[in-house]
Amino acid sequence: MTISLPIRTALKAAPICALALAVLASPTLAQDTGGSGEEGVVGAIEIPEAEESRGVFISQIGTTNRADISQEDSGSFARIIQNGADNDAELSQSGAGTHRASAAQEGDGNVLLAEQAGTGDTTLLFAQEGDTNSAILLQRETSALSSAAAVLQRGDNNNLTLIQDGSDNQARLTQDGNANTMTATQLNSGNRLEWTQQGDGLSDLRITQEGGSTMEITQSNTGAAFAPPPGGSGG
């Protein structure tokens, strides 16, 4: 199985809402078709191409936003879009692999810390909307293959950590609500993760995949109704 996450070159300079919706609209776990697919596809995620297939591009609207990008290889691509105030984004791309990252933050006080490294290719698509959300993302591809991730957070005070350390790992993480936490770790090779949660104050499942694992997880507490405990007044 593989996670197919087609997000086309329209992401280039796209408004943050369009980027977020593109991530949300991506299909879920799909049958592996075998083969690498069309040119410009890394880890089943289409990456920015054409005249902006490499380099650093930053767009910030608002006050006291901060973006810091470092690249070691001239073939890598990074884009950061931030709208709001007091947002902080830090991205590092290192190693012999070709690394692609499209990031976006809208709101106030959001933080992104991301690193892409290794001898293979990595692709990261990221967006968060709301206030005081934080994300820590690490992708390390240790072979000639590729690893990919698409991440979206909507709401306030959410925290997300994703670590991909190995080969041919793919993940899509989406959470919508407030004060939620997600922690996912993919080690070794061939892991596939589709994790969605919606609601407020959801507990962290702390997912760890250690090779060849496929998981699809949905967690929600929206619209839940609970009966009063025995002996309670119920009103």
Q: Are 115 and 137 in contact (CB under 8 A)?
A: yes
Q: What is the pLDDT of residues 6-49, one digit of tens each?
A: 332 333 334 444 544 444 444 333 333 233 333 333 334 444 44
Instruction: Give the whole-angstrom CA distance, residue 134 versus residue 131.
Output: 9
57 is in which domain, residue-wise? 2-32+42-220
Type of residue found at 190: G
Q: Is residue 227 part of a domain?
A: no
Q: Distance from CA of residue 60 to its chain's centroid?
A: 20
Q: Are 17 and 57 in contact (CB under 8 A)?
A: no
DSSP 31: -
Other residues' Cβ atoms within 10 Å of the Cβ of residue 48: 24
Residue 209, CA distances (Å) to 45, 59, 187, 188 in order: 21, 35, 6, 8
Q: Is residue 132 part of a domain?
A: yes
Please identify which residue in the block is written with the tokens 């408004």. Answer: 15
Instruction: Give the whole-angstrom CA distance, residue 41 versus residue 86.
Output: 34
What three-state secondary structure class fits 19? Answer: helix
DSSP bridge pairs for 47: none
Q: Is residue 226 part of a domain?
A: no
Tokens read off for 180: 């939620």
Other residues' Cβ atoms within 10 Å of the Cβ of residue 93: 26
Please identify which residue in the block is written with the tokens 């991440």. Answer: 151
Task: State the pLDDT at residue 230.
Answer: 52
Instruction: Give the whole-angstrom CA distance, residue 39 versus residue 2.
Output: 18
Q: Is residue 27 part of a domain?
A: yes
**Structural domain tally of the chain?**
1
From first to last of its 235 residues, the chain has per-residue pLDDT tens of 233 333 323 333 344 445 444 444 443 333 332 333 333 333 344 444 444 678 899 989 999 999 999 999 888 999 999 999 999 999 999 999 999 999 999 999 999 999 999 999 999 999 999 999 999 999 999 998 999 999 999 999 999 999 999 999 999 999 999 999 999 999 999 999 999 999 999 989 999 999 999 999 999 987 544 444 555 554 4
Other residues' Cβ atoms within 10 Å of the Cβ of residue 39: 7
Q: How far apart are the first and last CA of the chain?
A: 49
Q: Are 129 and 149 in contact (CB under 8 A)?
A: no
Q: Is residue 66 part of a domain?
A: yes
